[in-house]
Amino acid sequence: MVVSRYKKTEWGLKVASFSQQYGLTLTEIARLSGVTYSTFHQVRIGKTPGTDVIPKVDAFMVKYAKEHAELNEKPYPWEEFKEARPCIP
C-alpha cells in the first residue's frame, strides 16, 4: 500500500466528496474549471496556496451543483427503489 506523505487539505476533501457525489473525475473538474490539473492537485494537497485556483473551482462546483440538482433528489436517477416482496419476520 502506497502512502502519500502529503495529506489532503480540508478543501481537497471537499473537492473529492464533490467528485464522488456527481461522478466527475478530478481531471474533469480541473479542466471544466479552467485550471491546470498539476496546479489543482498541488492546491488539494496543500503544497501551493491556491489563491486563484480555489475561487475558480468553487464557482464551478456551485454552478454544476445547481445545474444537476435533480440528481440528488432520488436515490437512483432512473427510478425509485421498490421492494418486490416485503420482508416478513
CATH code, domain with 54 = 1.10.260
**Residue 31 domain-assigned?**
yes
What is the tally of structural domains in the chain? 1
d(CA 39, CA 47): 9
- Domain of 16 in residue numbering reads as 10-72
Is 56 part of any domain? yes
Instruction: Flag whether pLDDT at 76 surpasses 60.
Output: no
Domain assignment present for 2: no
Is 3 domain-assigned?
no
Span of 8-12, 49-53, 64-68, 84-88 with lowest mean pLDDT: 84-88
Q: Give the residue ranges of DSSP H helices in the chain.
A: 10-22, 26-33, 37-44, 53-67
Query: In angstroms, rounded to a whole number, what is the distance separating the alpha carbons of residues 39 and 50?
Result: 8
From residue 82, how far is each of 6, 11, 19, 85 by CA, in Å? 44, 37, 28, 9
The predicted-structure confidence for 30-74, as pLDDT tens digits, reads as follows: 999 999 999 999 999 888 888 999 999 999 999 998 888 765 655
88 inside domain: no
Q: Is 86 a member of any domain?
A: no
Q: Considering all CA atoms of the chain, what is the largest pairwise distance in Å, rounded to the nearest integer?
A: 58
Tell whether 61 is covered by a domain.
yes
Q: What is the pTM of this model?
A: 0.71
Grid coordinates standing for 43?
Answer: 492546491
**Would the pLDDT of 3 be above 60?**
yes
Structure confidence at residue 67 (pLDDT): 86
